[in-house]
Amino acid sequence: MLRIENLSVSYGARRVLHEVSLTVDNGEMLALIGPNGAGKSTLVRAVSGFIPAQGGSARKNGTNLLTASAGERARVVSVVPQVASLPPAFTVWETVLLGRTPYLNFLGQVSSADEDIARQSLQRVDALDLIDRRVGELSGGEQQRVLLARALAQSTPILLLDEPTSHLDLHHQVGLLELVRALAHQDGLAVLVALHDLNLAARYADRIALLVDGEVKAQGSPAEVLRPEVISEAYHLPVQVIPNPLDQSPLVLPDSH
């Protein structure tokens, strides 16, 4: 499990995260929600060690991820970034194999065991048929699945996703989140996913944490966090919450007239 305690991050004088504490159990999917600029991406970057934290810790058993070396940490935490511009000339196969980096020497020589793991990862995200394609010619949804396969190839117990659905259409959003939930529930990963869409978070996450101005304002089950007064205050917008007719999960509707 991932245990984040009192994590604080500043960019110069600007405080972005303040004493954030969260835990994600193995087999659990935690959605991180909050308005733009609340610090969701910063949290992912800090836990993955890309930006330095001013205080606090992020632990997996005994290992403090914030002080571990890049290689050590990459064997514990993998990250699915927002789809950015990927180097177009790389093939899907080359890209996914790079997920094995934390287990390779500096020459990046892969063994057949590494290749097996990369192939299984592609199969797990149902992207085995893309194996020979170049990442530059893939659609946004396909790219996101390839990045997820690369993260799985890292064989880490903890998986972080930074707004993985932001450039996807509804069909691919649902497909991706179902897959991510299965990775938590079936494969036993501790999954932390930053999400924009409250209703997708409500439908797919086991628990939700609400981040506002760098602080955790609420966390718990979707029903506990997605209450009209909490969300209205966080997003500065009156909302109503009704039960989703499909599965009774909370459905947040803006109430702006």
Partner 1 sequence: MIARARDASPRRFPMRHRLLPLAWTLTFLGLAILLSIAIGSVFIPPADLWRLLAAGFSGALPEPLATYALIIIGIRLPRTALVALTGAALGASGAAYQGLFRNPLADPYLIGVASGAGLGAVIAMSIQWPYSFWGLMAIPMAAFLAALLTVLIVYSLARVGRAVPTTNLILAGVAFGSFATALTSFLMLRSSGEVRRALGWLLGGASQAGWMPVLGILPYLVIGLSILLLSGHALNLLQFGDEQAHQLGLPVTRAKTIILVAASLATAAAVAFAGIIGFVGLIVPHVMRMWFGGDYRRLLPLSLIGGAAALLVADVLARVVLAPQELPLGIITALAGAPFFLWVLRRSKNQGYW
Burial class (CB in 10 A: 0-12, 13-18, 19+), 154: buried
| Residue number, 48 or 173, with CB nearest to partner 1 | 48
Residue window 226-245: x/- pattern of binding to partner 1, with contact defined by CB under 8 A: --------------------
Q: How far is the CB of 80 from partner 1 (least distance, A)?
A: 9
CA angle (162, 60, 20) in 5-degree steps: 55
CA 198 to chain centre: 15
Check: CB of residue 146 under 8 Å from CB of residue 131. no
Check: CB of residue 40 under 8 Å from CB of residue 211. yes
Spatial strand order of the sheet with 77-80 comes to: 77-80, 158-162, 190-194, 29-33, 207-212, 215-220
Residue window 124-163: x/- pattern of binding to partner 1, with contact defined by CB under 8 A: -----x--xxx-xx------------x---x---------
Residue 116 in the binding site for partner 1 (CB under 8 A) = no
| Residue number, 108 or 220, with CB nearest to partner 1 | 108
Task: Please select the residue that binds partner 1; options are 6, 64, 67, 70, rule is CB under 8 A.
Answer: 70
Contacts (CB under 8 A) with partner 1, residues 75-104: 75, 77-79, 81, 84, 86-91, 93-94, 98-99, 101-102, 104
Residue 50 in the binding site for partner 1 (CB under 8 A) = yes
Cα-atom radius of gyration of the chain, to the nearest Å?
18
Pull the structure tokens for residue 147.
């990045």
Catalog residues that contact partner 1 under the rule CB under 8 A: 45, 48-50, 69-71, 73-75, 77-79, 81, 84, 86-91, 93-94, 98-99, 101-102, 104, 106-108, 129, 132-134, 136-137, 150, 154
